[in-house]
Structure 1
């Protein structure tokens, strides 16, 4: 029994040692995040369409690092976009043309990065 446990522990240690956890660098801006999100979702779709072997599962695991980093950046930027939209709402209610124009330009610049 001790031999079996030692063998299993050694095998697990070898698997962990041979598997590199490559965390993707976070995207530097929204455009990069949207591009990564699109590209890596396509890769994930292709990987999910294959037989789920240990190698394929490792590939999927690696893809999730980049997807997570891209999605975090998108969510961060969308939170800011929501705040900017609220500023447009408040400025338009107050009939502040300069603020509406300024916030509107910022809003559309970010929004157009996500939708084409």
Structure 2
């Protein structure tokens, strides 16, 4: 039993290790639709959410549906990353308004406040 069991066991271990290496070196499959601006990100979210919803409304999902969903998620992730960056920027601008108002820096409050409102309105309009 000694030598006959060792070879198959060694083969299983080698295959498991090579499968792990191949799985960790998985290439990115798709780039997805880019989102260079907040407006583009919001448009992409609307478009790709609608596509995802259409696929998910099926009673059963095929392997082709899974592949399509997988592809859609790249564009959705890109859009969400852009929204995240834009929200961070919006929060930083609001903080500038806050700090400037504490110091009674009227011109800075006005400039940054208008910048904040313009940016915030873009986000709020998408929710309508």
In the TM superposition, what are the counterparts of 1:28-47 in structure 2 within 5 Å?
Answer: 28-47=36-55
Q: Are the counterparts in 1 of residues 33 and 44 from structure 2 also a CA contact under 8 Å?
A: no
Q: Does 1:21 align with 2:29?
A: yes
CA offset at residue 25 of structure 1?
4.1
TM value normalised by structure 2 = 0.71
What do the CA deviations read for 1:6-42 (whole angstroms, capped 9, x no partner)? xxxxxxxxxxxxxx92211421111000110121111
Q: Does 1:74 align with 2:83?
A: yes
CA RMSD of aligned residues (A): 1.4
Greater relative contact order structure (CA < 8 Å, 6+ sep) = 1
Q: How many residues align?
A: 97
Q: Are the counterparts in 2 of residues 26 and 73 from structure 1 also a CA contact under 8 Å?
A: no
Which structure is larger by alpha-carbon Rg, 1 or 2? 2
Name structure 2 gaps, 5 residues minimum: 1-27
Name structure 1 gaps, 5 residues minimum: 1-19
Q: Match of 2:3?
A: none
